[in-house]
Amino acid sequence: MEILAFGVQADEEPLIEKAFEGHHDVRSLNVFLTEDTAPIAAGYETVSTSVNCSLDHRVLQTIAAGGTRMIAQRSTGFNNIDLDVAERLGLTVARVSNYSPYSVAEFAWTLAMAVNRRITRASIRTRDFDFRLDGLMGRDLRGRTVGVLGTGKIGEAFTRIAHGFGMKLLGWDVAENPACAALGMTYVEKERLFAEADLISLHVPLLPATRHLIDAAALASMKNDAILVNTSRGGLVDTDALVTELRAGRFAGVGLDVYEAEAGLFFLDKSLEVVEDDTLARLVTFPNVLVTSHQAYYTVDAVGQIIDTTVRNVLDYTAGRRSENVLVPRDAPAA
């Protein structure tokens, strides 16, 4: 069987080909699966997709009509897939339930430290041989308070690093993580976390209940010199409200690896085009904001685990096996 993989980055392609070697042939494309590209999948029983592919009802109907029966998503998130439609069409959908939590946790800290110590500004200056220190003053994080929203595997890894910094730990989640509590984390209501934390990092999934978790009210309740980091999902933050607060001169720094309207922008080269997203265009002009293009997961370790799990998902499908990674069909018993 030949598999068609959409949205494959150049660094990923040799890893995907090596992982599938001896199992199935794979054709890698650097374009995302969208309504325009869906016809390419005709004749492929299995397609593999990335989180920035759009699998709405129109795309799913097109690929199903072309013979696709299995979708192997190369990510943990799956809010880009209409699962109800997939199930009605008889498609099997699988994702990667987990991969190295350290890749994202470490990158969240990279963003936090970069905005705290003004690394981007300093780097630009020194390239111009400007070695002044004006405007580059940061803060020690030891003894300050970190607020972690979402204390699953990634949140726990982030918390362990914060503990190493000697920070006071506040957490918020629907269920407490005993490992975080053992590190000294105090679980509090999110309103208290917003008000007391010097550094806030988001590690919760994007669900209807968490969309715009960081809204205008939450932003207004944060400290004026707080640092906000989001390496989870862009929709957790009301970006328009964030821009309003930034225009008022608030926040010591904001580090964003995700953006709520990133589809059609992130993972693509738009450097020669006019970007019509006024919110993003304004966001990147603030000197205390650092935006990266959804790269927190992008380590050889994490990507390798994602691809290996994707291969197992495809092999399970061809063998008729069921694993915890299968999202659709939802009523089949686990093997």
Active-site residue numbers?
A: 233, 262, 294
Instruction: With beta carbons less than 8 A apart as the criterion, state whether 172 and 146 touch.
Output: no
Among the listed residues 45, 43, 50, the one whose alpha carbon sits nearest the alpha carbon of residue 75: 50
In sequence order, which residues have a C-beta less than 8 Å from that of residue 277 and are 6 or more positions away? 261, 265
Q: For residue 3, what are its two tokens?
A: 């598999």
Task: Give long-range contacts, CB 8 A cutoff, 24+ apart: 9-16.
Answer: 9/267, 11/298, 11/303, 12/303, 12/307, 15/300, 15/303, 15/304, 15/307, 16/48, 16/307
Among the listed residues 262, 222, 266, the one whose alpha carbon sits nearest the alpha carbon of residue 242: 222
Q: For residue 167, what are its two tokens?
A: 């920070």
Position 41: which residue type?
A
299 in helix, strand or coil?
Answer: coil
